[in-house]
């Protein structure tokens, strides 16, 4: 997975950021380094900068554009329009826009990219003649290329159309550079629906793709007055917990199925492929309460899908919509190919002791270091280098090419919390720099007998790839430092 600096704009487009700026007292300053504070610990953004990526982000996936209108209340107009303001295609009708990213960031000059809309079928009205290439900035940064399919019939009806949208880099003469062309099919559908049973046949796609985290999608029917609006509706959501608690729902799409809801409305979900969890399938059930059907991906590399038909009936008429549900939990790969090693995971005693003999400072300490070269080291102030160290935390130690792709956490499980060092405990810290922890003791006066001062603790060191719990490697240790005064004043 590509790492770098990114920002999500108000249109939910993820864009690469080459440089950040901040204005202070009217002066614009370039941000050299970026940090964030969490529970008193400062973390640096890593890597701090990234090169601008290819602005063409449109995929080749087929898209659907739908428009609906109630019988006798106007036209249904399905859109496939280019919006230069946002760098996106506008799909669906004027009241319920659905946006598809084409260029990110949006163009702000002519001569960079060209677009073509080709009519495949249907009575789709195009901004330009079919198949012509035009500069995406032809109408300026507020320009719209308006393409639409209109249903103006006075009876319940559906009409269809299909276009192919292509985007490419400009060759300098208003024509595309061949290898950069990306094309997408857009199916348009404009439907005149009935008065009360307002559900449409327009299919839905519910998808949740997450990295190293639980992913899920859920299909719901919600009755009128159930803590929501007066209309009863069907909604598609993503969710981030198992089981799917409502406070984690993020709505993807919603459609009213009954303007005036009543107990005569029933719903049925038929599973065409895959499997869903939740409410009853294969039979009509009441819409008096909220019904839920969901697909999830609880484990890394899970990719679970289901195709269902959801049918709403008012007891006289019925409408069926096909819904594709997909939940994916990706596991982030390691770009450089290095991996955490098991070498450092064995148990160790880290100890430094001092018996009061002779002169000199009354100092003891034990230090643990996690180095960017892929090694873990330990040494004492008195005892020097521990014979069991250094140990490897990475399989490419001592020449790890990507330490920034790893993080470590030291937790004091039991014992004394007194420590010194450059790094906090109990939090994940990035291994782009060396991390160090020490137990340290120093006495101002020389005692004359017994163990006079001691610090002892059970330590746990964890190392993993950034944000990947499944890759964690763990080392258990006991850290001990003590100053011993001799009985009777001598050793």
DSSP track, 303-356: EEEEEEEEEEE-SS-EEEEEEEEEEEEE----TT---B-SGGGS-EEEEEEEE-
Give strand pairing partners of 267: 285, 312
pLDDT at 263: 82
Does the predicted model carry a pTM greater than 0.85? no
Query: End-to-end alpha-carbon separation of the chain, Å?
Result: 61
Compute the average pLDDT of residues 110-122: 95
Q: Kindly report, residue by residue over 173-216, the tens digit of the pLDDT.
A: 999 999 999 999 999 988 887 767 888 888 899 998 887 778 89
Q: Please check whether the domain covering 63-193 is classified as CATH 3.30.70.
A: no
Q: Kindly report, residue by residue over 259-301, the tens digit of the pLDDT.
A: 778 888 999 999 999 999 999 999 999 998 899 999 999 888 8
pLDDT at 486: 62
Give strand pairing partners of 163: 119, 186
Q: Kindly report, residue by residue over 450-464, the tens digit of the pLDDT.
A: 667 788 889 999 999
Compute the average pLDDT of residues 411-432: 81
Q: Kindly report, residue by residue over 54-63, the tens digit of the pLDDT.
A: 789 899 999 9
Q: Cβ(423)–Cβ(381) under 8 Å?
A: no
Residues sharing a CB contact under 8 Å with residue 39, sequence separation 6 or more, in sequence order: 427
Structure tokens at 173: 């003469």
Same CATH fold, 204-330 and 63-193? yes
**Gap between the Cα atoms of 223 and 288, Å rounded:** 6
Q: Cβ(162)–Cβ(98) under 8 Å?
A: no
**Gap between the Cα atoms of 198 and 260, Å rounded:** 10
Residue 141 pLDDT grade (very low, low, confident, very high; cuts 50, 70, 90):
confident
For the domain 204-330, what is the CATH code?
A: 2.60.40
Compute the average pLDDT of residues 130-148: 93
Q: Kindly report, residue by residue over 57-112, the tens digit of the pLDDT.
A: 899 999 988 888 877 778 889 999 999 988 999 998 645 667 888 998 888 889 99
**Gap between the Cα atoms of 115 and 102, Å rounded:** 10
The structural domains of the chain, with segments of one domain joined by +, span 6-44, 63-193, 204-330, 343-489
């Amino acid at each position: 997975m590509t790492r770098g600096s990114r920002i999500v704009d108000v249109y939910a487009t993820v864009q690469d950021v080459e440089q950040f700026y901040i204005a202070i007292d009217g002066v614009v300053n370039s941000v050299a380094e970026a940090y964030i504070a969490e529970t008193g610990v400062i973390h640096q953004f890593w890597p701090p900068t990234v090169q601008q990526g290819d602005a063409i982000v449109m995929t080749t996936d087929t898209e659907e554009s739908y428009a609906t209108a109630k019988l006798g209340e106007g036209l249904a107009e399905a859109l496939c329009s280019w919006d230069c303001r946002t760098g996106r295609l506008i799909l669906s009708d004027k009241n319920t826009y659905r946006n598809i990213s084409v260029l990110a960031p949006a163009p702000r000059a002519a001569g960079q990219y060209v677009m073509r809309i080709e009519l495949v079928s249907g009575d789709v009205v195009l901004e330009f003649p079919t198949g012509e290439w035009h500069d995406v900035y032809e109408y300026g940064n507020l320009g719209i290329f308006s393409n639409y399919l209109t249903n103006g019939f006075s009876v319940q009806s559906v009409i269809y159309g299909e276009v192919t949208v292509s985007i490419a880099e400009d060759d300098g003469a208003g024509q595309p550079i061949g290898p950069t062309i990306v094309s997408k099919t857009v199916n348009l559908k404009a439907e005149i629906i009935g008065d009360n049973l307002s559900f449409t046949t327009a299919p839905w796609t519910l998808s949740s793709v997450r990295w190293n985290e639980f992913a899920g999608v859920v299909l719901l029917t919600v009755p009128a007055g159930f803590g929501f609006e007066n209309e009863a509706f069907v909604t598609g959501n993503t969710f981030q917990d198992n089981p799917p608690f409502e406070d984690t729902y993020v709505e993807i799409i919603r459609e009213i199925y009954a303007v005036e809801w009543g107990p005569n409305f029933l719903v049925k979900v038929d599973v065409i492929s895959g499997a869903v969890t939740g409410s009853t399938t294969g039979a009509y059930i009441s819409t008096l309460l909220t019904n839920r059907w969901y697909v999830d991906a609880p484990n890394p590399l899970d990719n679970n899908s289901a195709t269902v038909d959801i049918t709403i009936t008012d007891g006289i008429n019925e409408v069926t919509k096909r819904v594709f549900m997909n939940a994916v939990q990706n596991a982030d790969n390691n770009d450089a190919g290095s991996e955490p090693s098991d070498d450092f995971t064995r148990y160790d005693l880290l100890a430094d002791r001092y018996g009061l003999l002779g002169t000199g400072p009354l100092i003891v300490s034990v230090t643990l270091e996690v180095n960017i070269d892929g090694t873990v080291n330990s040494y004492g102030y008195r005892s020097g280098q521990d014979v069991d160290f250094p140990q490897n935390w990475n399989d490419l130690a001592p020449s790890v090419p990507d330490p920034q792709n790893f993080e470590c956490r030291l937790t004091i499980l039991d014992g004394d919390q007194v420590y010194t060092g450059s790094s906090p405990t109990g939090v994940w810290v990035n291994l782009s720099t060396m991390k160090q922890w020490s137990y340290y003791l120093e006495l101002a006066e020389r005692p004359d007998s017994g163990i006079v001062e001691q610090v002892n603790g059970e330590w746990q060191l964890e190392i993993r790839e950034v944000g990947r719990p499944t890759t964690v490697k763990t080392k258990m240790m006991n850290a001990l430092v003590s100053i011993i005064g001799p009985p009777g004043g001598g050793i």
